Structure 1
Amino acid sequence: MVTLADCERTQHAWFKAQAAATGGRAFGTYGMDWVWLPESREMLCMFPTEITDAGLLPAMAEAERRGAAAVGVWLNAAVNSTELERHRFERGWQPWWMTAPLGPGPVGTDAGGLQEVGPGARERDDRVRIDTPTDGVCSLDPPQAWLATARNGEEWAGQSYLFMPPEQGAKHLAGIFDMYVAPEHRRDGLGTALLDCLAETASDAGAEHLLLNATPEGLQLYRGRGFQLIGKGRTWWHHLPQ
């Protein structure tokens, strides 16, 4: 069973992997875990159990020193956010955590009534393929991330990442992140094709479950491919003067 804690750990590991690949860093301040992402110029705090001045203020000062565009805090919905409001953070979008089992073959229904996502679920869509960038998070050793790219003819049309944390105990989870289809190519099956390609890649890599964070706009797509909503979080943002 995939839990909210699994989703949060995988999201945190994804950002740490990006930081490791792009010259960023991960660090802690009095019970608060932070990741600096230089490419997006974001300082992110990942799922603290408590917000304190001792944990928050040093990281905000570090963000200002590094020229960050924003400081973000990803929260479990049960955590008190009063301190963030006091420091002029604003409510951001909600991660809607969704999971799906990876079946061994075509889409089917398990004993609990859930549709399974698996390799061979649909005929392969040749508009989507796994790319192998020589830099960034896909170049980490051992392999942890794969990039699926969608093209309409020769035109780039969308992409998404698959990420498998290298250390996750007995669980075999893979996260799907940064799903994007260009507006002019939407409603043409590319979102489904990206999901199917990443599901097959995850299964080949040994994953047994997929997880992702969705927005309300993507809910129908993910539900249609067997994902189930298991909970919601909250992001908070403080934008620094530029």
Structure 2
Amino acid sequence: MSEDAITEKIRKLLRLAKSSNQAESSAALAKAMELAARHQVDVHSLSEDDEIAKLVTRYFRCGGKRLAREWRKALAVARQFFNVTTCTIQDFGQVAFIGTEMDIQIADYVTTFLVRTCRDELAKFSAEEKKRRRRMSANKRACFIDSYFNGVWVQLSDQREAQVHEITGLEIVLSTAEKAREAHLDAQFKNTTTAKALTKPRPTLHTLFAGYDAGLNTQINPALGTDTPLALDYK
């Protein structure tokens, strides 16, 4: 398949990813990311219309009315590193993402990926604990999840810091975009309340190390560039 044909196929998948059918949208986005990563295509460069820069709000379901710990942590990562602002609507079991169409699609993809990967790594850790005849308590589970996302956070923070040093004015651009999203949020959701902070688990040393290492080594699909995980930069 020629380079032009690959690019056009990714474009079509990205247009399909805007579908109101969430299953169809997610499948199209995942396929677009897979093709972009395989052929080293910058997805942002494929945006053809001015609509891509406009702030919009999209709603996603994240489990039940009460968000699981791993979802709340993953959403914090999305807010910090993937150019979106999020708002939890607990009465409906939904999360609102505010950002550009492209950034929202990417943030949704990353959030789901991190939750799934965290759960997979937690299942492996639980199996190891059982093999060693150690009890897997609720506190251990919370400790592993927190440590996992700490590892992810450190990995992405290092990459963001490198980009800020490399790209002049990036920090100002990111800050300005964040303020615009916050204003958009305030205009749409006037009566929202800040979610309560997660209760900090009592740490157990081997759980902390296991979760942290798993998060630090998680490779988020680099679909928007050859060596940059997804949408860390702001184009």
Q: What TM-score bracket applies, with the shorter chain setting the length?
A: under 0.3
TM-score normalized by structure 1?
0.22
Higher helix proportion: 2
Normalised to the residue count of structure 2, the TM-score between the two structures is 0.22
